[in-house]
């Protein structure tokens, strides 16, 4: 807080400055002298509090009071007066002074005036913050150099927890708070800073939603360097691709669905985090509302868009949300288009599983297996997804990797030979599949189970 002391008696000024400095060591106290020079200093400093002598030569207290209140209407002015100027002091209060103190000013009275001024400033700052953030609740509000909040000459920044990396950043703090569990600092900006900043509460109100969405998107996509302009708020392109996904589901076209879903997800990666979540909730809501006629679903699993938005917001990162969303869409597709199989489907599907068990090492395909059991490849593919929750290729790969484990610990074939026996001519590709399935290379698996046979 900045405090100015104006009095024509040097000893009085020094006494008040000393009392203020001792009782409030963090305040910036200025001895501005008296007269026109004092007035110019006050206008330049823009203090929150002024102690002003009521009778001074050159420019008396009432004239200076009028000038100060005209230039700095939010500044609190305390008049200093002797007993014989008591009526004069009351007149000053009528003209805009906040209060008056009798000389010599008592240290406790001075402390009380400063504390009341500080409380008024913190209350005003809190009100402006809450007004700017709207319905967003803030907690743990604390204050440091609050005087800069009210000085529109000072450029200020909004910093989030992961951006506060230097101790000097805290030294420049004006105030701080928590918003939705995230720590936020308002700090003064360096003169050379060229990013987003604000000077008054009105500009803060406009800047806050921009900075919050920027930081949220940075955290959501887990990126260290944020390029402004890379992430858009306009979702028109994503909206068109979203409808393509819905049409593919309606048409029961799994292949087209996979293609359109990939394109839509790719488009989402260029949008701001809040827009991505909104798009995801819209898609799920569409797949829900467009296809539920005559069906009953659990409201916790299939609800309106607002319910889905809350569900989507449970996933703090894009990777988590994307994985969950893809699984949900494919599960929904299977629910809407269950596999219709002829009588005896259990028999032919069991036969298909048995053939895979026997021939997992052969160059077997979905088409060749479907021909052997006498069904259409699409029917067989859907049956695999419905019964095993895996695609045909994924199921076949797992069976091959299970067989690879058995061979690795029971025989002495090289990994190259094992790969070839399972239908993989590229042993490096086989090794990557094995590691994806079991979390280690074939060689490491063999060593872990007591075999000393080499990698090759």
At which of 336, 360, 392 does a domain end? 336
386 and 422 fall within a common domain: yes
294 and 354 fall within a common domain: no
240 and 320 fall within a common domain: yes
Q: Note the pLDDT of residue 84.
A: 62
Is residue 224 in some structural domain? no
Is residue 398 in some structural domain? yes
Is residue 351 in some structural domain? yes
| Percent of the chain's residues with pLDDT above 90 | 30
What's the CATH code of the domain at 401?
Answer: 1.10.10.60
Taking residues 228-256, report their average pLDDT.
84
191 and 156 fall within a common domain: yes
Closest residue by Cα to residue 88 from 49, 53, 50: 53
- Structural domain for 366, as ranges: 345-448
At which of 319, 336, 353 does a domain end? 336
The pTM score is 0.59
74 contacts 150 by C-beta, under 8 angstroms:
yes
The domain tally of the chain equals 4
Which residues is 50 bridged to in the sheet? 4, 77
Specify the higher pLDDT residue, 302 or 422.
Answer: 422
Is residue 129 in some structural domain? no
Is residue 332 in some structural domain? yes
170 and 67 fall within a common domain: no
Over residues 369-402, the pLDDT tens digits come to 888 888 888 888 888 888 887 888 888 888 888 8
At which of 87, 118, 149 does a domain end? 118
Average of per-residue pLDDT values in the chain: 83
Q: Note the pLDDT of residue 172.
A: 81
Q: Which residue has the tokens 């909206």?
A: 239
141 and 241 fall within a common domain: no
DSSP line for 4-66: EEE-S-HHHHHHHHHHHHHH-TTSEEEEEESHHHHHHHHHHH--SEEEEESS-SSS-HHHHHH
257 and 332 fall within a common domain: yes
Is residue 56 in some structural domain? yes
413 and 384 fall within a common domain: yes
């Amino acid at each position: 807080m900045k405090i100015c002391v104006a009095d024509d008696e040097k000893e009085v000024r020094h006494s008040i400055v000393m009392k203020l400095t001792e009782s409030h060591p963090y305040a910036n106290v200025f001895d501005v002298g008296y007269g026109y020079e004092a007035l110019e200093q006050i206008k330049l400093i823009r203090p929150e509090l002024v102690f002003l002598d009521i009778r001074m030569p050159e420019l008396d207290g009432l004239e200076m009071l009028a000038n100060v209140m005209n230039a700095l209407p939010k500044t609190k002015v305390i008049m200093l007066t002797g007993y014989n100027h008591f009526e004069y002091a009351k007149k000053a209060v009528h003209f805009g002074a906040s209060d008056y103190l009798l000389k010599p000013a008592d240290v406790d009275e001075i402390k009380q005036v400063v504390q009341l001024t500080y409380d008024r400033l913190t209350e005003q700052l809190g009100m402006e913050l809450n007004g700017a953030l709207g319905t967003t609740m803030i907690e743990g509000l604390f204050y440091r150099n609050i005087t800069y909040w009210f000085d529109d000459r000072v450029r200020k920044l909004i910093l989030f927890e992961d951006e506060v990396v230097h101790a000097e950043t805290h030294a420049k703090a004006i105030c701080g708070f928590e918003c939705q569990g995230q720590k936020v600092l308002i700090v003064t900006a360096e003169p050379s800073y060229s990013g987003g900043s604000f000077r008054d509460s009105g500009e803060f109100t406009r800047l806050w939603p921009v900075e919050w969405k920027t930081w949220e998107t940075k955290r959501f996509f887990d990126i260290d360097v944020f390029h402004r302009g890379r992430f858009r708020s306009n979702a028109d392109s994503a909206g068109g691709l979203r409808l393509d996904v819905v049409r593919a589901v309606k048409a029961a076209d799994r292949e087209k669905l996979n293609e359109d879903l990939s394109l839509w997800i790719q488009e989402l990666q260029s949008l701001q985090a809040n827009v991505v979540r909104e798009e995801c909730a819209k898609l799920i809501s569409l797949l829900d509302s467009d296809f539920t006629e005559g069906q009953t679903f659990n409201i916790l699993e299939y609800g309106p868009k607002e319910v889905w938005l809350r569900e989507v917001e449970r996933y703090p990162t894009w990777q988590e949300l994307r994985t969950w969303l893809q699984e949900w869409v494919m599960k929904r597709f299977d629910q809407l288009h269950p596999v219709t199989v002829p009588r005896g489907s259990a028999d032919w599907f069991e036969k298909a599983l048995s053939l895979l068990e026997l021939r997992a090492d052969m160059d077997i395909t979905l088409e060749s297996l479907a021909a052997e059991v006498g069904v259409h490849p699409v029917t067989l593919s859907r049956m695999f997804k419905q019964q095993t929750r895996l695609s045909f290729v994924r199921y076949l790969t797992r069976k091959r990797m299970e067989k690879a484990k058995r061979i690795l610990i029971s025989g002495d074939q090289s990994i190259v030979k094992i790969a070839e026996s399972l239908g993989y001519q590229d042993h490096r590709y086989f090794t990557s599949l094995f590691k994806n399935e079991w979390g280690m290379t074939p060689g490491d698996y063999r060593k872990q189970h007591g075999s000393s046979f080499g990698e090759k």
